Amino acid sequence: MTGDSVSVLFREGMMLLAVVGGPLLGGLLLVGLVLGVLQSATQIQEPSVGAVPRIATVILLAMFLGPWMVERLARFLHIAIERMGTPPM
């Protein structure tokens, strides 16, 4: 592997990280925003009120998106291992 191919692989890995982690972070952002508005409107400032829906969101998103996430990560790992096995040109 050359230095150029390592940087390309690193860039692809970072893009994959954003694609795979994006739905989880987006879901948490949306739930946190809704909970923040509701807590402000009702003046309930209990931390556990916000923690339970966030945990449930992560669990549900992981259940529904887990196979897709694992498939994408496994495909990237397979490609990365193949590229490491090729001799430098």
Domain count, the chain: 1
Distance, CA of 26 to CA of 48 (rounded, Å): 21
- Structure confidence at residue 1 (pLDDT): 65
Question: What's the average model confidence in pLDDT over 34-63?
Answer: 89
pLDDT at 86 over 90: no
Domain that holds residue 24: 3-85
Measure Cα distances from 67 to 26, 27, 35 in Å: 18, 17, 28
What percentage of the chain has pLDDT greater than the value 90?
58
- Chain mean position to CA 85: 28
pLDDT at 25 over 90: yes
- Structure confidence at residue 88 (pLDDT): 63
- Structure confidence at residue 62 (pLDDT): 92
Question: What's the average model confidence in pLDDT over 45-58?
Answer: 87
